[in-house]
Amino acid sequence: MDLDALRIDVDRLVGRLDALGEIGAVHGPNGERGCARLALTDADRDGRDLVVGWMHDLGLDVHVDAIGNVVGVRAGDDPTLAPVMTGSHIDTVRTGGRFDGNLGVLGGLEVVETLERHGVRTRRPIAVAFFTDEEGARFQPDMLGSLVYVGGMSLEEALDVRAADDGARLGDELARIGYAGPVPCPAASAPHAFVELHIEQGPVLEDEGVTIGVVTGVQGISWTELTITGQSAHAGTTPMRLRRDPGYVAAEITAGVRAIARQMAGTQVATVGRLEYVPNLVNVVPSRVTMTVDLRNTDEHLLQQAEHRFASLCERLAADEGVTIERRTLARFEPVEFDARMIDRVEATAQRLGHSTMRMPSGAGHDAQMLARVCPTSMIFVPSANGLSHNIAEHTDTADLQAGADVLLQVLLALANEG
Ligand code: GLV
Ligand code: MN
Ligand code: MN
């Protein structure tokens, strides 16, 4: 048959996205259909069970490794050749959508089902993976499962990570949900190549009217948790000049990192996403605030510059207000550039299929940036409606899902048939 003419069945793909999205479903007041499946919760287990069931239905050989990464392998004709891998994650943030990560995993299964239905064999095996705790919303750092998979963090250290919400130990949660698997991690060998289909999660493709984002790399990520400790006191009796108020310092840091990003302009971004006051009462100067700062830049030197300015800001505020500020690094990944030939391949394939394309860096972190350490890697982006992600209103149009998954199919086919 003419392999170039092979296309995925988008209704089947949307059916799986909808079914997985029902697990941990969050319904918004305006018809939004989002998802809350934080890593290693009961909802994550139920999602995993559903996807593993589909992998078995498709005849894949399913492996679960010691950090809970799941890889389903479709055999190739030459068992001596390394597999071509695709995949992503199925954990979500608490206010997530149905596409982030899930599209990459279910797009991979859709490719496999398309090949099965058309009786298409490949020389190399095709592996579809989902990696543990990509989001980093519950356990930091983000991309933890793929980081351990490529040997970037030891298994022992990863199993000992504590949850930001309830303090649970990652290894205990993994065992509790039944996904502490027998396969050793890091993986014994690298795939031939890795390609990840993902939603853009930002507004650029939609704004430019382009269907396929050809991803050139991922920007650097720096996550810090701050614990600011001052003096709890009575809100009515303590004169302003005698306060040591961590709440005020937290507000200055929030405004300060935004000012740093604004002054640096370019691609620098800065976010305070979590902030907790203790004791959080109307008439009490807080004793302690914990908060997080997320800094990102596509340029490592500029990211370091932002980090230095942020550190100086903290030191100055601590001295001025008489509080202590403890800084703990939660995640730090340098910017990643994808393989030039893999980028070209995604671009050429998308164009051959008649889709408009543009090259772009990824603003979000992805498992692909970890796989890039061990094999040629690239990513395919499809548009996010209104640029929204990590939001229950996240949506990608069906025509764009079809386009992205077709590009994935054709890129995987070509890679899986090369020697
Ligand atoms: C993780 O996926 C992130 O980009 O925050
Ligand atoms: Mn994602
Ligand atoms: Mn995400």
At 274 the pLDDT is: 97
CA distance 149 to 275: 31
Q: Is 135 in the pocket of ligand 1 (CB under 6 A)?
A: yes
Q: Please report which helix (H) or strand (E) contains residue 205, including its range.
A: helix 204-208
Tokens 């939004």, residue located: 32
Ligand 1 binding pocket mutation candidate from 135, 223, 332 (most atoms within 8 A of CB): 135
Other residues' Cβ atoms within 10 Å of the Cβ of residue 263: 10
Domains annotated for the chain, with CATH where assigned, are 3-219+335-416 (3.40.630.10), 220-333 (3.30.70.360)
Q: Is 142 in the pocket of ligand 1 (CB under 6 A)?
A: yes
Structure token pair of residue 4: 């170039």
Model confidence at 99, pLDDT cuts 50, 70, 90, reads very high
Q: How far is the CA of 246 from the centre of ligand 3 (A)?
A: 30
Average pLDDT for 76-104: 98
Tokens 């899930």, residue located: 102
How far is residue 140 from each of residues 96, 160, 225, 287, measured CA to CA in Å? 17, 11, 11, 25
At 52 the pLDDT is: 99
Q: Please tell me the number of the ligand nearest to residue 104's CA.
A: 2
For 31-52, write each residue's pLDDT tens digit: 999 999 999 999 999 999 999 9
Ligand 1 binding pocket mutation candidate from 366, 369, 370, 389 (most atoms within 8 A of CB): 366
For residue 136, the ligand 1 atom closest to its alpha carbon is 1
Residue 405 has pLDDT above 90, yes or no: yes
Q: Is 383 in the pocket of ligand 1 (CB under 6 A)?
A: no
Structure token pair of residue 407: 């590009």
DSSP letters, 347-416, are HHHHHHTT--EEEEEESS--HHHHHTTTS-EEEEEE--GGG--SSTT----HHHHHHHHHHHHHHHHHHH
Residue 165 has pLDDT above 90, yes or no: no
CA distance 158 to 171: 8
Q: Is 126 in the pocket of ligand 1 (CB under 6 A)?
A: no
Q: How far is the CA of 366 from the centre of ligand 2 (A)?
A: 6
Average pLDDT for 187-205: 98
For 296-328, write each residue's pLDDT tens digit: 999 999 999 999 999 999 999 999 999 999 999
Average pLDDT for 324-352: 98
Q: Is 294 in the pocket of ligand 1 (CB under 6 A)?
A: no
For 118-144, write each residue's pLDDT tens digit: 999 999 999 999 999 999 999 999 999
Average pLDDT for 76-84: 97
Q: Is 340 exposed, middle or buried (0-12, 13-18, 19+ CB in 10 A)?
A: exposed
Q: How far is the CA of 379 from the centre of ligand 3 (A)?
A: 15
At 181 the pLDDT is: 98
Alpha-carbon torsion (280, 327, 229, 249), positive or negative: negative
At 211 the pLDDT is: 98
In degrees to the nearest 10, what's the CA dihedral of 349, 355, 360, 363? -110
At 409 the pLDDT is: 98
Q: Beta strand pairing status for 377-382 and 193-199?
A: parallel
Q: Please tell me the number of the ligand nearest to residue 140's CA.
A: 1
For residue 363, the ligand 1 atom closest to its alpha carbon is 4
Ligand 1 binding pocket mutation candidate from 221, 223, 297 (most atoms within 8 A of CB): 221
At 1 the pLDDT is: 83
Average pLDDT for 12-40: 97
Average pLDDT for 345-363: 98
At 199 the pLDDT is: 98
Residue 266 has pLDDT above 90, yes or no: no
What pTM does this model have? Answer: 0.96
Residue 419 has pLDDT above 90, yes or no: no
